[in-house]
Amino acid sequence: MEAKKISFDIAGKVRMGGDAPVSVQTMCNTSTDDIEASVQQCREMAKAGADIIRLTTQGLKQVESLKKIKERLRAEGIDTPLVADIHFLADAAIAAAQVADKVRINPGNFAKEHNVACEKFSHLIEICKKNGTAIRIGLNHGSLGERITNLYGNTPLAMKEAVMEWLKMCIEHHFFSVAVSLKASNTVVMVEAYRLLYDAMRNELGYIFPLHLGVTEAGNGDEGRIKSAVGIGTLLGEGIGDTIRVSLTEDPVNEIPAGKAIVRAIQDGYRSGSGRSTVEASDWNDFIIKASCLWGPALLDKSIDTIDLIGSTIAGNPLSPEESEHFSNMLLQACRRRFTKPEYIACPGCGRTLYDLQSTFEEVKRRTSHLVGVKIAVMGCVVNGPGEMADADYGYVGEGRGHVSLYRGREVVMRYVPQEEAIDKLLEMIEADKSMPGGPGGADRSRS
Ligand code: SF4
């Protein structure tokens, strides 16, 4: 029997799944309690063409703020669906389902006890049914629950299995307004997890729920765009994926043109096996996205080891040798095939971020650019940051009030370091580790 493709409307405005066009979404990095700033950022996102906007919703207070933001936007005629982003507080999800058009929950932190999580999720589904609210089951590689990692390890298989449990609960409750994401900052892990889930939905569930694609903590600039285009573009090129978010540690409004460019590149045939062998781009950003969608899949799957940029053009001109080398290096690293610089894992920031993440990330990059192959995470908050750093060798995690925690892998090494000293301390720690067997970055490069 052929699997049924699930599709649904969000707030009667955006159709998701089935044959609906791929939607492009983003997330505010304002404090949700700052109504004015959040409304203004939503206005800019809507103007840039965002199909869906997500806002951090830490607790019941932020649910009230979200309600006010929604009222203000609707009064202005901005009807972009709003999604409440929930971690750790199932009751906030239940309250938000009466306000937001969609609620994102993270199975890894929805509730501590599995039976409590199942009970609360049943309640959430009932509220969503009553209010016409959709749900995203948004799992991240870095925040898999202990019960699942004990069973399957920290693997794409574990990600797939974790989500399948929740989808089965949705089916039992006859609730189908559900999308799923399985994000990772490692493109290899991300692509494998989505492929596994897609096959399992088709073969085991008999229902193909809409998939929300994203490479999480992708960083910024060329790096963030290339990683995102590799992961998202590979899957869209295979017909997997219904809605996307390009997570950038930049002004979130920039995520919209980047996302739309990926969707356009796939539509224009920049994908594996399309017969295309060169890229014709209008500008640099157009080039890196099209070229990543075209060659990323074969590099990820190891069916090619290098790329040939001869014949490709930007605004009708061939690439300079420097541009070719720069792009090839970035693409090979994004596909985890060759490391020529540090690997940065940086969250995009959100309403939980308590410091200037964008400029700090730039400074960390500038000071650590010599540490080839070392994986360095820069995260906006201590609530989710340490869990979401996934396989980083070192982490720089904002504590708020001008202080930072420094991590070696998952272990916190220094707490509450004044921000002005934190990069020096991070470098000292990495230098000291260099003299240890299997020093920084060495232990793990082959694994990726
Ligand atoms: S890690 Fe970054 S994006 Fe995630 S909740 Fe914290 S500040 Fe927000």
Over 60: is that where the pLDDT of 152 sits? yes
Over 80: is that where the pLDDT of 1 sits? no
CB atoms within 10 A of CB 153: 11
Over 80: is that where the pLDDT of 437 sits? no
**Which residue intervals of the chain bear CATH 3.30.413.10?**
343-434
Q: What is the mean pLDDT of residues 58-67?
A: 97
The answer to whether 176 and 135 have CB atoms below 8 angstroms apart is no
Q: Ligand 1 pocket by C-beta < 6 Å: which residues? A: 347-350, 352-353, 379-381, 383-385, 388
The CA 186 to ligand 1 mean position distance, Å, reads 17
Structure confidence at residue 134 (pLDDT) = 98
Helix (H, G, I), strand (E, B) or coil at 186: coil
Lowest mean pLDDT among 17-31, 87-101, 237-251, 422-436: 422-436
Structure confidence at residue 38 (pLDDT) = 98
Over 80: is that where the pLDDT of 441 sits? no
Structure confidence at residue 440 (pLDDT) = 63
The CA 85 to ligand 1 mean position distance, Å, reads 11
Interval 181-221: pLDDT, tens: 999 999 999 999 999 999 999 999 999 999 999 999 999 99
Q: What is the pTM of this model?
A: 0.94
Which CATH class for the 4-213 domain?
alpha beta
Q: What is the mean pLDDT of residues 103-127?
A: 92
Structure confidence at residue 114 (pLDDT) = 85
**Which residue intervals of the chain bear CATH 3.20.20.20?**
4-213
The CA 58 to ligand 1 mean position distance, Å, reads 11
Structure confidence at residue 436 (pLDDT) = 76
If one residue of 353, 358, 397, 407 were mutated to test the ligand 1 pocket, choosing by the most ligand atoms within 8 A of its CB, it would be: 353
Question: Above pLDDT 90, what percent of the chain?
Answer: 87
- Which helix (H) or strand (E) is 105 found in, with range? strand 102-105
Torsion of CA 324, 326, 293, 153, to 10 degrees: 150
Q: What is the mean pLDDT of residues 269-293?
A: 96
Q: Which residue's CA is the nearest one to ligand 1's atom 3?
A: 349
Over 60: is that where the pLDDT of 393 sits? yes
Which residue in this structure is represented by tokens 């904002």?
398
The CA 344 to ligand 1 mean position distance, Å, reads 15
* Closest ligand 1 atom, residue 351 Cα: 8
**Rounded CA separation 122/169 (Å):** 8
The CA 69 to ligand 1 mean position distance, Å, reads 21
Grade residue 388 by pLDDT with cuts at 50, 70 and 90: confident
Structure confidence at residue 401 (pLDDT) = 84
**Rounded CA separation 134/446 (Å):** 40
Topology at the third CATH level for domain 343-434: Sulfite Reductase Hemoprotein; domain 1 (3.30.413)
* Closest ligand 1 atom, residue 382 Cα: 6
The CA 397 to ligand 1 mean position distance, Å, reads 10
**Rounded CA separation 63/69 (Å):** 10
If one residue of 106, 246, 379, 405 were mutated to test the ligand 1 pocket, choosing by the most ligand atoms within 8 A of its CB, it would be: 379
Interval 30-51: pLDDT, tens: 999 999 999 999 999 999 999 9
**Rounded CA separation 66/169 (Å):** 28
Q: Measure CA of the first residue to CA of the last residue in the chain; give whole Å.
A: 37
The CA 220 to ligand 1 mean position distance, Å, reads 15
Q: Which residue's CA is the nearest one to ligand 1's atom 8?
A: 350
Distances in whole angstroms, Cα of residue 322 to Cα of each of 295, 327, 366, 446: 19, 9, 20, 28
Which residue in this structure is represented by tokens 């969503």?
128
Rg (CA), the chain: 21
**Rounded CA separation 110/105 (Å):** 7
Structure confidence at residue 442 (pLDDT) = 44
* Closest ligand 1 atom, residue 85 Cα: 5
Interval 336-366: pLDDT, tens: 999 999 999 999 999 999 889 999 999 999 9
